[in-house]
A and B are shown apart, each in its own frame.
Chain A
């Protein structure tokens, strides 16, 4: 049956978007990828193992991950750089598109990978602390002693994805073997003053043409049989839809051209589906006035993750959130080749930026250690916290509602 499916898929002109059984073992040899257990699609690491775990193992090849930027774009740019840095470490090709920062400077600021020994040091410290904890046996509540330790951050068991040190930038030697392409909108505009784009914002049209050219020239096209070694193209597009891209959806409630962005995403998804590539787009969702556009954009993307930072909000000083820097909303998980999607059972997620690491963790409230009776206010706060961090695709409407 698998052979029949493979033959059939190849006969159709073979998108890369197919099961691993059909693609054969030659695809599995690409560095930095692994096949998904559930749907057999090749997965890439997003560069942040805890995010991979939330997204059902990683980003599937041929799909699009949309990151809704936080208010100041600070944390979303970290995720963006993690994605690119992981590509450098795995030896993938990169395509970086931006209208604000020059792609060269983005690439210069990629975080340095934590090598295994450094990682072990960090890990040893942690385990040392853990064992210390473990040694003093509990005087009271002793029956909880044998319970397994709760893992705060979701981790993957196998070696897939790397950790990065945000305090250092990646050394230029690592870049040497990497092939990368950049798309800097102001440069492109001056190079080719006229490009024929049909009923689409010209910046988006240029970007599509540029991606398509690279996919077909550099051999990422899944439909032609290639003799040389296959590789993955990682496409990163920064702040798509912002004013700098010449799109007015951020500055007006009734923009002139509301279809450019959605058309762009549709064509881009078509390109990704037939090539060995994966794309991460950050989008300033909070600036887009017309929420209908955001709904359509969400429907047209495969995976959507929203970041909500506490910077500038009252939650920055809220004691409930003192351990975290913001919330993560998983808005959409793709259903690939199966009826069900890999929904993780954790819905309340938060992120935290440590000195060197950025992690996504399960949101939990701190223990209530105060002597005074202030439970009521805490519960209110907790209630509001629950409302704010509702899960994927399901919004808590109110306390009154009871499904069963």
Chain B
């Protein structure tokens, strides 16, 4: 992604820039192929032993009925009954429901002095419930970690993957394949994380991976595609430059938000007194672009058993150029085993 970039990063806040068609010369050739990582994973894992051969396809199919009517019924029930579908309270705050997911939105999840990964789990289960095609770039944890939590929230990642709804990039694993795998990578397609072992910090392979996995095939009937990244700061640690990360996000926005009418959700860490200037650059510039910012902060006064932190929801109405101000809401939250409760500041159990 050098000088010959087809869509220039002009003014980041200028929304028309996104409407420019982006033609990526090499991505066309890949369309229709299986993404490389599924192939390499298949090779790396030989046939499962007898115990593991019982793929839970039938069990999941029974448990997770994909009929849209049933699904919406279930969701409605779960919203009322408080069953752990996703964080129903957060949906209310965001005025979102899995029946009608918004399109073309870029959501930034930002955490300071605390861990905001519960939001990633929320959005993962939300979009899987909504019937969107999801590409999850999970750089921080292993698949089983995400899967176990998703099961607590009522969705199964393995079932979603078998249905073709979820494309899961397990960063830790594909990094291992890349690092210790012999020259077999040379013959096939490049690994999405190939920038780790190359001197050039170029996220083009990762972008190609996202594009190939989210471009709808003629057969499937998923709603708008969703790209989910947990978390973007890891890319910087692995040697990508801030400019490469911003380029990657920009390309993804053009393809996912603009062309395919989908959504992007990205988690970043940030800290006001951080000395990590590269990370701050990425975070600040993403804040300017985002349609919705969920900023989770640990309490400045320290640890509290009943309040885990504070969430600031900023709806960037000003980006729509209607002359209105951004809408900001601030709540406090407490994470429970399968749910998160949100309440106004000062209304926690510790006070009342």
Contact = CB atoms under 8 A, between A and B. Distances in A.
A joins B in a complex: yes
The 10 closest A-B pairs by CB, nearest first: A10-B52, A13-B45, A292-B276, A270-B172, A198-B197, A262-B237, A4-B56, A259-B239, A8-B158, A291-B275
A15 B171 CA distance: 14
B299 A290 contact: no
Nearest to B143: A12
A11 interface: yes
Interface residues of A, number: 65
A391 B303 contact: yes
Interface string A315-345: 0000000000000000000011111110101
Contacts of A259: 237-239
Contacts of A223: 44-45
A343 B303 contact: yes
B337 A15 contact: no
Contacts of A401: 300-301
Contacts of B196: 198-199, 263, 266
A39 B151 CA distance: 13
B299 A394 contact: yes
A7 B54 contact: yes
A106 interface: no
A19 interface: yes
A266 B237 contact: yes
Contacts of B236: 296
A347 interface: yes
A30 interface: no
A214 interface: no
B346 A404 contact: yes
Contacts of B158: 8, 11-12
Contacts of B114: 393-394
Contacts of A7: 51-56
Given A18-B144, A402-B301, 4 more contacts: A8-B56, A394-B113, A395-B300, A404-B350
A271 interface: yes
A6 B173 CA distance: 19
A316 to B, nearest CB: 26
A172 interface: no
A340 B335 CA distance: 7
A392 B305 CA distance: 13
A208 to B, nearest CB: 7
A208 B298 CA distance: 35
Contacts of A22: 144
A274 B170 CA distance: 12
Given A199-B239, A292-B275, A266 B301 contact: no
A347 B299 CA distance: 14
A225 B49 contact: yes
Interface in A286-316: 290-292, 295-296, 299-300
B148 A199 contact: no
B282 to A, nearest CB: 13
Contacts of A37: none
A250 B47 CA distance: 46
Interface string B177-204: 0011000000000000000111100000
